[in-house]
Amino acid sequence: MSMWRSWSRMLCLAGGLGAVGCTDYGSYTLSWAFPPVEPAGPDEAASTGCGQHGVDSLRVTGMSTEGDGEDVTTLCAPGTFAHSVPVGTWTFTVQQLDVRGGPISPNDAQGYPVPDPMVSASVAVDTNTQVYPPIIVLTPRPGCDDGVDNDADGHPDGRVDLDDPDCAGSASTPAE
């Protein structure tokens, strides 16, 4: 009887270890840009848009229908990010982060919050192909709320946003 318990324990252990190593992985690649500078123009590339709009990095979170989770942070400027996840149907959400790692919630020119600053994409990830969801278009913050000297007047003391006299009276943010 004790021999049977020993074998059953070993089989359970081997089965558990085997199940852990049996998960299939696939990969996804996210790409992003900013809306066109001119209404009819092409999207603004992340390589320039991230710095122009004060976005340092992006937080990518995801959940699969199978219950797996994803939470990674990547730099904004490359404009693309690839990662492996277990096979399944995934929904990814992208949140812009500032240089301190804080989430950016853009406001419109009148200072009202944009309803949904996070962007989502759903994809089915399998082991045979790399998945490329549509390009994500990020919502930029207004010029007086992005931590950038948008008018490039280069104040010697580094004035940006509400400290810049050109942003005096801006409704996009109450204080910096």
The end-to-end CA distance of the chain, in Å, is: 74
Which residue type, as a one-letter code, is found at position 153? D
Cβ-based neighbours of 23, under 8 Å, separated by 6 or more? 86, 87
What the chain holds in terms of domains, given with CATH numbers, is 22-141 (2.60.40.10), 144-176 (no CATH)
- Over residues 67-81, the pLDDT tens digits come to 999 999 999 999 999
Highest mean pLDDT among 25-29, 71-75, 135-139, 153-157: 71-75
Tell me if the pTM is above 0.85. Answer: no
- Over residues 13-39, the pLDDT tens digits come to 445 444 455 679 999 888 999 888 777
Beta strands in the chain (DSSP E): 25-34, 44-45, 57-64, 69-75, 80-86, 88-97, 119-125, 130-131, 136-137
**Which tokens go with 91?**
């929904």
